[in-house]
Amino acid sequence: MATISQPPQKDDLPADIWFEIAILLEPRDLLTMKLVCTALYKMFTDLDLWKYVLHAVCHRHSLFVPSFPIDDMNIGELQRAALGPHRWSKLLERNALPLVDKKSGPLLEPLVENDYPFGITTASRQFLVPGGRFLVIASRESLGIWDLGTPGRPITSPPPLIARESLATLPEHSEMSLGLHGLEVVPVNDDTIRIAVALSGKVTL
């Protein structure tokens, strides 16, 4: 006679095995699985497990880990952050338009014109570090990093400038005709990024 298997119990497997299972799944699947039974609900609403999951999501999608104060986040914030890549993908799908010929397409005008924030100009370069918290802005004179705040939390207005470095220090009575040629930002490890700025032109003494 067929029997109904018992639902899994939290103590059937060590916690580290559950954690490894969790990072193999998409975060949205974990939220679905917790509805299966009480045991899975208790497991997949564990705060430490979601910290582990968010770390895994950051590695999988090349997000800068310090964008999220993981040890200071509640479970709702952890889940929202872990679902971020999926929610972004769905947002793009919902608002995607068919490909059009750029030569025959209409010229779009901006709905609203604003002053450039953070000292951004048409000659500067910007890079939003994956994770959405840190904004790198380079000009020919300086490089700055702005903290836009933890994704999902209220934004501090104005966002603080957390680092600034002068790029072109000239001798007295000299003239500069330098231009910003490029900006590259690459991760070194979980908590470090490397920033390279290229200037081109000449300095007349």
Q: Where are the domains of the chain?
A: 10-94, 122-204
Locate tokens 């310090």: which residue? 66
pLDDT of residue 81: 94
What proportion of the chain, given as a percentage, has pLDDT over 70?
77
Locate tokens 């380079």: which residue? 138
The model's pLDDT over 17-47, given as tens digits with 9 standing for 90+, comes to 878 888 888 999 888 888 888 888 888 888 9
What is the DSSP code string of the chain?
---PPPPPPGGGS-HHHHHHHHHHS-HHHHHHHTTT-HHHHHHTT-HHHHHHHHHHHHHHTT--GGGS-GGG--HHHHHHHHTHHHHHHHHHHHH------TTTSPPP--S---PPGGG--TT-EEEE-TTSSEEEEE-SSEEEEEE---TTSPPPSSPPEEEEEE-----TT-EEEEEEEEEEEEEEETTEEEEEEEEEEEEE-
Q: How confident is the model at residue 54 (pLDDT cuts 50, 70, 90)?
A: very high
Average per-residue pLDDT in the chain?
Answer: 81
Q: Is the pLDDT of residue 83 over 70?
A: yes
The mean per-residue pLDDT over the stretch 64-84 comes to 94
Is the CATH number of domain 10-94 1.20.1280?
A: yes
Q: How confident is the model at residue 104 (pLDDT cuts 50, 70, 90)?
A: low
pLDDT of residue 3: 46
The model's pLDDT over 155-196, given as tens digits with 9 standing for 90+, comes to 777 889 999 988 766 555 556 567 788 898 988 888 898 998
